[in-house]
Structure formats: structure tokens, C-alpha cells
A = this chain, B = another copy of it.
């Protein structure tokens, strides 16, 4: 029961949660300083702030694995994952073997409910269906420009070796495996590696089932900064990857920031966020459930309702109190709602829309009759869920787009994980002798202005050559 949970320095009772103790969760009305202050706080929310101490410690772990190789990795796994192994090869999790069973029925199938297995297959089907059209981006990425003896070919290639991090602390996340592996596979990455804390792999048949269904054969039981180090730098046994994607805790986030440049990484994943813009007719029970679903992720999660209706605001607050009363994750949700929760009452629907756009949240929901009118104008969020029948949790598990989305307002300039994150472009340039002479003159004129005399000479040599053949044999 929520009334029995205790936050640091603060005793909660059902009555005290909303109104007295957590000031932010009174309705805040547009035009008041409280409204303005809360909005300012929300706009300035961090993206993925990591404690300096965590960065310093992660840096030490990275250095140890980089210089110490296999032995340092084994030592870190023992310290942080609580697992003792004699060789790094023993960290490889034998997912494939789970499928082998004497009666021909994969063993995992008999351990898991038909309902769960059907949900996994529905999710994979939806994620594939949504991402397949992005393969067209790859196709249209190939092109050639030919003009005046100059030929430039642009080509797009899948990355060669990619590491996907799947977190596993309090919770296990089979869904994250689907949401990162499927886009990489559709991009054509041939070499996909997963790293995950060994306790999660050992305890969760569901996690192993998803890895097995997706055909991931290289799964490392290691979790945290040392796992990122092993993937980025390689060890005697672990071959390094070119790119690391997937969410993680503060250690993983810090480590990913520190190895960026040695390998590529996806965007930093900050605390999860939802902003719900609702007209007064939206169902209060559902609004409350959707705010809680976001808030339970993380004590620093963001969950905001913006509505012109004071009636809806008050109904939602009442529903929140009621729903938190019997929720196992209430402690985290309450802390999140106190920190970055808000119920904002605007002058009208237009102002509610503007607040939503200005926050550029990871997830934005539009609820109530106004949803369809507003939808075409909403473009700031990482993902938009239109109508009360479409909550954010559909995006987390089942709709199709990857649930790895930009947080902390970074949706202003970045996008959710997709097939495109797993490809790179490169081009080739070829000039015939006429083009070479012409480009040589252009390059020489610009190099001269820039003071780069060596560039100028390299260009002039071509401008002065009468033909390529003369150059080739000179």
C-alpha cells in the first residue's frame, strides 16, 4: 500500500500525497507564478544528467578494462555482477542451447505461457512491419551524380558489428531486445551482439526466449560500465563493436558518453516522459493510469497533464490517489510525480497545445474529443499517441516504432532509434581529365583565399595537366 511506503525524509499517507506533501500535484493554473515556475522547471529538465562521481568511477572501470583486458573484465564482472568465472568465454550465454530438447519441443516454450509467447510474436511482427519501409531510405540513399566529366556515387552500407545493451536490474526487459535488435537486423547488420546483466539472463526465461526467437547467438552476461568497455575497446576474447545502442542505468549512460568517438552510440537515454494534452471530456481514470505508467519507470520520470478543464484536473488527481493506493511500484511513481509531475490547467485548448509543443516530450498523448483536431499540428514530441484508446504503453511494447526515443527535449533535433542508426553513408568521386582541369581551377581559387598553399598546389597540378593519362604516367 502506498500509505505504508516511506520516501527519504518524508512519511506519506494516502491523504497527504496529493495536496499537502506534493505541492506540484495541485492543479496549477495558467497566469499564476506557480504555473510559470513549474513549466520553467519542466522545460529545463535534464536530458541524461549523470553524477560527476559516477562519471569518474565509470572512467576508472573503462580504463581498467581497456588496459587489463580479459582479466580486468572478469574482475569487474565478479565485483559488479556478482558472478565468478574463470574465463571470459564463460560469460557467453548459451541461448541457442535452450531451443534443444529431447522431445523436439523447445524447452523454453513449455516454461512460458502461450499468452506471453503470442505477445512476443505480435510485438516482433509489429516492429518489423513499422521499420521495413525504412529500408527504402537505404535504397534511395544510393545514387550517382554525373555532370561534366565528374561522377560522384553515394552508397549506404550497414554497420558491421553492433553491440546492444539490455538493462536488467530491478526489472527485466524482453521488450528492449525486440526494440533494438529488429531495426539493426532490418538495416542488414550481420554481426549483432547483446550484453545484459547475467542475473537477468539467468533468471528470466522470457528474456532468453526473445533472444532465441530473434536468433541472437552472441549474448554476453555482463552489465554496467565494464560491459560497455568490453564492447567498445574489446578484450583479448571479446571483439570490439563499431556502435553501441540501448538504454541503461547511470553507469551505462556515463560509460557510453565516455566511449563515444571510439565507437558510435545512440543518444543518451534520460528518464522516461509523458505529456498528456487532454480536452475536458477525456476519461480521468485512463489519464491517471497513463501518468502512473510513466512515473513508475524511474524516480526522475516526467508525467504531466495539460488541460483547459479544472474538472478533469481534479478528477485525475483523485484517480491518481486512488490508483496509487494499490500499486506495487507506487513509491517510485510518487517520487517521480513529486519531482517532475504536473497538472497544468490552461486558459484554453490552444494554450494546452502550445505547452505540449514547448516541452518536446519523449511521449505525448492527445486525449478526449480534441485529439484528432490537434494531431496534425503536433510535431515536437518523440512519439505522438492520438486518442484515449492509444496510450503510451502501446508504443512501449506493441505498436511498432522502437521504444528507444529522444528524452529531455532532445526530440527538437533527434529521432527515435531506427534502421537509419545502423547504416552509414560514404561516397566516391571520379573526375575525367576535363573535369579534373576544371575542378582544379575552382579548388585552386578557393584554396588561395584560404591560405592553404599545399591545397592550391595539389589542385593546380591537376588544372595544368592536359589529360589524365599524362598524369598517370608522369
Contacts and interface: CB of A to CB of B under 8 A. Distances in A.
Interface in A453-474: 453-455, 457-459, 461-462, 465, 468, 471-474
Interface stretch (A69-77, A88-96, A169-177): A169-177
Given A457-B293, A458-B290, A431 B387 contact: yes
A157 to B, nearest CB: 6
Given A155-B379, A412-B242, A427-B383, A171 B452 contact: yes
Interface stretch (A11-19, A32-40, A222-230, A260-268): A260-268
Contacts of A387: 430-431, 468, 472
B286 A442 contact: no
A454 B386 contact: no
B296 A453 contact: yes
Interface stretch (A20-28, A145-153, A191-199, A346-354): A145-153
Contact of A446 (B123, B414, B415, B455): B123
A446 B286 contact: no
Contacts of A152: 130, 399-401
Contacts of A413: 159, 242-243, 263-264, 424
Contacts of A447: 393, 396-397
Contacts of A397: 439, 442-443, 446-447, 455, 459
Interface in A33-57: 47-48
B289 A454 contact: yes
A61 interface: no
A254 interface: no
Interface residues of A, number: 138
Interface stretch (A97-105, A132-140, A212-220, A306-314): A132-140
Interface in A179-220: 204, 206
A404 B415 CA distance: 21
B293 A442 contact: no
Interface string A246-272: 000000000000000111100010000
A327 B453 contact: yes
Given A389-B468, A399-B152, A431-B387, A449 B172 contact: yes
A471 B283 contact: yes
A375 interface: yes
A297 to B, nearest CB: 8
Given A174-B449, A385-B429, A462-B391, A293 B454 contact: yes
Interface of A: 47-48, 113, 115-116, 118-120, 122-123, 126, 129-130, 133-134, 136-137, 140-141, 143, 145, 147, 150, 152, 154-155, 157, 159-160, 170-175, 204, 206, 242-243, 261-264, 268, 281-283, 285-286, 289-290, 292-293, 295-297, 323, 327-329, 333, 368-369, 375, 378-401, 408, 410-416, 418, 420, 424-433, 435-436, 438-443, 445-455, 457-459, 461-462, 465, 468, 471-474
B289 A160 contact: no
B443 A396 contact: yes
Contacts of A285: 461, 474
A35 to B, nearest CB: 22
